[in-house]
Every structure is written in structure tokens, then in C-alpha cells.
Amino acid sequence: MKKSLSHTVWECKYHIVWVPKKRRKVVYSKLRDEVRTILCRLSEYKGVEVIEGKVCLDHVHICLSIPPKYSVSTIVGYLKGKSAMILFEKYSRLKKNFRGHHFWARGYYVSTVGLDEGRICKYIQDQEVNESIEDKYDSVLSNPF
């Protein structure tokens, strides 16, 4: 769906993925729900629409509709930076595992969505299924008996 600003009609959608520092598997149970809530709230503050999203143990997949007045790097930096600050404030125990208030790793992956929106949304939704299959595979490899 195309949106508009005063003199602009736009449809800018991006598939973005980022990971916790050292790709640690730390985002689970209550923290997973908290990260989801924080990211949605922060996106709403900037006028960014969350089309689809999934918070996994060791990464975040999110499909965003970002107004053209913002760059992708600005929004990702904002989401990662503010969410890390909120998480450290709320869960002070995380400070032991992540020095210097760096909860998220430095980089991120981004791809424009274009006409593949349905396929990308399905891919993001299937992340939980893929994660459980990988966990089962990892447990078989680590404990063959």
C-alpha cells in the first residue's frame, strides 16, 4: 500500500536482520516478548510501520515500512541503540554479559522488499519453525547417545 507525505507518494519496505553481540542465544522467554514490545513501540515513535517481525534466540528478523525522510541506517541505529539502553535499564543483570552497553552486534543485513513482500513475510513467520528444527539438529549432534 502506497503512503504519502505532503509532496511524496512512497512505498519503501525493507527486510532487516541483526544479531546480539557475539551471536549469543540470549533472547528467550520474557526477554523475547520485551524486545518485541520495545521494537514495536520505538518504530511507532518514528512513524515506521512494522509489517512483520520475529525475535529469535540469536537474531531479529523484521520487515519495516520506512518513510523516505529517514535512511535505513538511521532507523536501524535508532532501534538497536534505544532498545539496548531500555533493556540494560530494565534488566541490569545483562550488564555482566555485555560490556559497554553493547547488546547488539555492530552490523545488520538489509534488503529491499519490492514485489516479494508476501514471500518475505512468510519467511519471517517461519523463523520459529526453522529455529526449533536447528535446535533439535544441534542437540542430536552434541549428544549422539
- What type of residue is 106? R
Cα–Cα distance, 101 to 85 (Å, whole number): 7
Q: Residues of 41-55 as b/e, b for ≥16 C-beta within 10 angstroms?
A: ebbeebebeebbbbb
What is the predicted pLDDT for the residue at 55? 85
Residues 5-43 have pLDDT tens digits of 677 787 888 999 998 876 666 666 677 888 899 999 999
- What type of residue is 141? L
Residues sharing a CB contact under 8 Å with residue 138, sequence separation 6 or more, in sequence order = none
CATH number for the domain that contains residue 104: 3.30.70.1290
> Which domain covers residue 100, as residue numbers?
3-142
Residues carrying an active site annotation: 123
- Counting the structural domains of the chain, the total is 1
